[in-house]
Each structure stands twice: as structure tokens, then as C-alpha cells.
């Protein structure tokens, strides 16, 4: 679990408690697709598969992610390139997430699609 007063892993320059921590704790809903995407990145850094699955739209959500069984990933940075609110219920977020697996640096560059239903944003899918 991230230290509440530590910088948030999502790179917002806010403290974890005042940023993604509230969403991961279930104390608040992410107010935008970008906020949800940042909280999902943070959830990956903390191996919070429960949060990742809960924020994944049911139409595309896998049954499980198996994060605990994978080769350990060290997440080292997130850069949000753009956030476009298409309409009240659809948005896209383009980002680059940097990480290391087995000491080898990797990049995940994705344009993700999000939908808002019942007042909550959900990750739908993305193009690499």
C-alpha cells in the first residue's frame, strides 16, 4: 500500500491521499477519464487487481488479470499526452507508461477509450 503522504505514483505531483488514494479506497469516484486512467496506473503499481477489474467496463473486462503470478513489474513513470472529452459519457486518454521487467526498460503507449455510466467512468479498451 502506498504511503498516504508520499507522492502519488501517477505523477500528478500531489500526495497519494489527495490524489488516487481516495479513488482506490472507494471514498470518491474519479471525476474524469484522465483521473480514472491515472488511478488505474497507480493500481497497477500497487498490484490492486480488485480496483482494476472494478473500473473495467463489463463488456470488455477479463475474468482476472493474474498480476500476482506475473514477473514483477517496476512501474517508473506515467506521461499523459492528451485527454479528450468526446461528449458527456465518452472520452479518450493517450498516455505513455514506463516500466521495467527483469531490469529491461519498456514503454506502453496507448490511446484508451472510457465510458461514463451511472456517474462512474470505466476503462473500455485501447489501441497500442
Alpha carbons 90 and 71: distance in angstroms, whole number: 33
Q: Which domains does the chain have, with CATH numbers?
A: 16-127 (3.10.450.50)
Confidence of residue 126 (pLDDT cuts 50, 70, 90): very high
Share of the chain above pLDDT 70, in %: 98
pLDDT of residue 106: 92
In residues, how long is the chain? 128
Minimum mean pLDDT among 69-73, 77-81, 118-122: which range?
A: 69-73
Nearest Cα residue to 29 out of 54, 10, 4: 54
The model's pTM is 0.91
Q: What are phi and psi of 21, to 5 degrees?
A: -55, -40
Average pLDDT over residues 26-34: 92
Beta strands in 6-128 (DSSP E): 73-87, 90-101, 104-117, 120-127
Amino acid at each position: 500500500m502506498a504511503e498516504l503522504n508520499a507522492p502519488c505514483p501517477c505523477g500528478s505531483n500531489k500526495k497519494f491521499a489527495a490524489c488516487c488514494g481516495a479513488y482506490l479506497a472507494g471514498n470518491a469516484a474519479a471525476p474524469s477519464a484522465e483521473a480514472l486512467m491515472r488511478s488505474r496506473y497507480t493500481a497497477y503499481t500497487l498490484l490492486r487487481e480488485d480496483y482494476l477489474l472494478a473500473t473495467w467496463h463489463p463488456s470488455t473486462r477479463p475474468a482476472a488479470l493474474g498480476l500476482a503470478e506475473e514477473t514483477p513489474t517496476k512501474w517508473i513513470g506515467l506521461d499523459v499526452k492528451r485527454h479528450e472529452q468526446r461528449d458527456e459519457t465518452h472520452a479518450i486518454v493517450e498516455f505513455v507508461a514506463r516500466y521495467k521487467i527483469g531490469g529491461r526498460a519498456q514503454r506502453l503507449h496507448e490511446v484508451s477509450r472510457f465510458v461514463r455510466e451511472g456517474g462512474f467512468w470505466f476503462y473500455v479498451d485501447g489501441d497500442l
